Chains A and B, each alone.
Chain A
Amino acid sequence: MAKPNRESREKILAKLRSRELVNCFQCIKCTSGCTALKLLELKPHEVEKLVNLGFVDELASSDIIWTCVTCLKCVQRCPQKASPYHVIMALRNLAVEREVKVPEAYMKAVSQVLESGLAEACQKVTTKKMKTFDRESLKLPKLASPKESFQAVFLKALEEREA
């Protein structure tokens, strides 16, 4: 049976840089308004409870933390400022640190930022009349690359671990 891990719980609290999570009194306002509840069964109040009880390791390796659609309704509506959205983001960061299941698209976006400054590469778009356009043919300005220092300093920022 899963055992609570107080150390992992402290890690999440440190990442949140505040301890309001412990004030969650399970009013379930977050879950009743959660965009991801109906489709993906995300129950933010349960995430809050589980972290408070110390079941952080289980959450960090679960797919459930990647179902949040970041609509921010739970942050807005939480009467205790125990923001499930921020708890979920802290759990995602922990999952990345532990190199457990992380949706590939996120890692791809980060390496793209590192490489080019932007999270995506420029695309050609095809209209309904099957004409293809890009920035140049639309007479949009050329994109300016980030300064040379960017890559090294962003890498440094990525290596920074909170707590």
Chain B
Amino acid sequence: MKTAVFWGCRILTSQYAYELSVREVLPRLGVELVDLPEAVCCGDPVKSVNDFAATYLGVRVLALAGATGLTDLLVPCNRCHFVISEARKVVEKDERFRQKIVGLLKEEGLEYRSDVKVWHVIDLLHDHVGLDGVKGAVVKPLKGLKLASHVGCQLVRYSDLGRVDDAESPRKLDELVGALGVESVDYAEKLDCCGSALMYSHVDSALSLAGGKLKALQNLSVDGLVVSCPDCALIFDAKQKEAASTVGVKLNVPVVYYTQLLGLALGVGQEKLGLHLNQSTVDLLVSKVLC
């Protein structure tokens, strides 16, 4: 499979570990990635300011993808995935809105594309490559690890848009984690939000949401947390120390992207997966499986 890929802002500007690991592991599973001709925003922060302009940016991504001649688009960021999916739904439903947006796209020499399928890493691996495909590629099963998964809000809600997994009981990420030989634990706070969207306006509250969830996980004695969204990773991994201070405990929860975990199971070197860039104590997790 050959797919266009839209990275969004956060991955390209700071969450380099996600980009490195996606670029490293997907081709090994038969997925060829083609970057879009522009690095642009999906419209996410614009939604709060001007919904029309945000929708324009979302639809514009589909147009850019269509212009590559490909009909599959990988969007590894949960927020981008949501914004683009909602933008598409809005223009499909609202004729007047669509005409306006098509007009603006024309001014840029772009064409509205309704035929581009939007994927996330999770459904691309689970539904396209398949659990057997993933299992078959594993050279180093990560036996003995017990991990919690955090799928992220915007990837599973809201169902009217057609999301990657069930809104109240998502399983795909757990199954993918399980395919690597890891035990994926269920926990009460599983669907709790990471809080990262509040970093725009209420930083302390954002950090205490993340801190609360990490504290609960630490009490469960898991070996780490698996995420698949750059915003969730930013707050759980890069901001873990700050989050700890809002909940009054010392936090030591290794946080990894699923693609990093998958890379380890595929026998890829740690630096190629960007594991040296994680700010949490990932060495604790890695040393349990690579010895």
Question: What residues of chain A have their CB less than 8 Å away from a CB belonging to chain B?
Answer: 15, 17, 35-36, 39-40, 66-73, 75-76, 83, 89-90, 92-93, 96, 102-103, 105-107, 109-110, 113, 117-123, 125, 127-129, 131, 133, 135, 138, 140-141, 143-147, 149-150, 153-154, 156-158, 160-162
A89 and B90 alpha carbons, distance in the complex (Å)? 15
A138 and B92 alpha carbons, distance in the complex (Å)? 40
A77 to chain B, nearest CB (A): 9
**Chain A minimum-CB-distance residue to B208:** A39
Binds A, one of B124-132, B142-150, B189-197, B255-263: B189-197
With A140-B16, A145-B39 known as contacts, the answer to whether A70 contacts B154 (CB < 8 A) is yes
With A71-B153, A107-B49, A140-B19 known as contacts, the answer to whether A154 contacts B37 (CB < 8 A) is no
Is A71 a contact partner of B198 (Cβ separation < 8 A)? Answer: no
Binds A, one of B115-123, B179-187, B218-226, B273-281: B273-281
With A118-B13, A157-B56 known as contacts, the answer to whether A149 contacts B108 (CB < 8 A) is yes
Query: 1/0 contact trace for B94-132 toward A, CB 8 Å?
Result: 100100100010011100000000000000000000000
Q: Does B20 contact A (CB under 8 A)?
A: yes
Q: Of residues 39 to 79 in B, which have CB atoms within 8 Å of A's CB atoms?
A: 39-41, 44-53, 56-57
B121 to chain A, nearest CB (A): 17
User: CB within 8 A of A140: which of B20, B56, B168?
Assistant: B20
A125 to chain B, nearest CB (A): 6
Is B49 a contact partner of A110 (Cβ separation < 8 A)? Answer: yes
Q: Does B229 contact A (CB under 8 A)?
A: no
Is A67 a contact partner of B48 (Cβ separation < 8 A)? Answer: no
Is B16 a contact partner of A135 (Cβ separation < 8 A)? Answer: yes
Q: Does B84 contact A (CB under 8 A)?
A: no
Is B13 a contact partner of A69 (Cβ separation < 8 A)? Answer: no
Q: Does B167 contact A (CB under 8 A)?
A: yes
Is A69 a contact partner of B198 (Cβ separation < 8 A)? Answer: yes
Is B53 a contact partner of A106 (Cβ separation < 8 A)? Answer: no
User: CB within 8 A of A153: which of B19, B107, B192?
Assistant: B107
Question: What residues of chain B have their CB less than 8 Å away from a CB belonging to chain A?
Answer: 9-10, 12-14, 16, 19-20, 35, 37-41, 44-53, 56-57, 82, 90, 94, 97, 100, 104, 107-109, 153-154, 157-159, 167-168, 192-193, 195, 197-202, 205-206, 208-209, 274, 276-277, 279
With A118-B9, A118-B39, A149-B107 known as contacts, the answer to whether A125 contacts B16 (CB < 8 A) is yes
**Chain A minimum-CB-distance residue to B7:** A143
A17-B90, A149-B107 are known; give 16 further A-B pairs, CB within 8 A.
A17-B94, A35-B209, A66-B201, A68-B197, A69-B197, A69-B209, A72-B82, A109-B46, A113-B57, A118-B13, A118-B40, A138-B274, A145-B38, A153-B104, A158-B53, A161-B52
**Chain B minimum-CB-distance residue to A35:** B193
Is B52 a contact partner of A123 (Cβ separation < 8 A)? Answer: no
Which residues of B lie under 8 Å from residue A127 when comparing CB positions? 276-277
User: CB within 8 A of A89: which of B39, B40, B51, B201?
Assistant: B51
Which residues of B lie under 8 Å from residue A146 when comparing CB positions? 38-40
With A71-B153, A71-B157, A76-B158 known as contacts, the answer to whether A35 contacts B45 (CB < 8 A) is no
A96 and B46 alpha carbons, distance in the complex (Å)? 11
With A69-B197, A125-B16, A160-B100 known as contacts, the answer to whether A76 contacts B157 (CB < 8 A) is yes
Is B37 a contact partner of A162 (Cβ separation < 8 A)? Answer: no
Is B16 a contact partner of A133 (Cβ separation < 8 A)? Answer: yes
Is B20 a contact partner of A138 (Cβ separation < 8 A)? Answer: yes
Is A40 a contact partner of B16 (Cβ separation < 8 A)? Answer: no
A99 to chain B, nearest CB (A): 12
Which residues of A lie under 8 Å from residue B45 when comparing CB positions? 105-106, 109-110, 113, 119
Which residues of B lie under 8 Å from residue A156 when comparing CB positions? 104, 107
Is A143 a contact partner of B12 (Cβ separation < 8 A)? Answer: yes
A105 and B108 alpha carbons, distance in the complex (Å)? 28
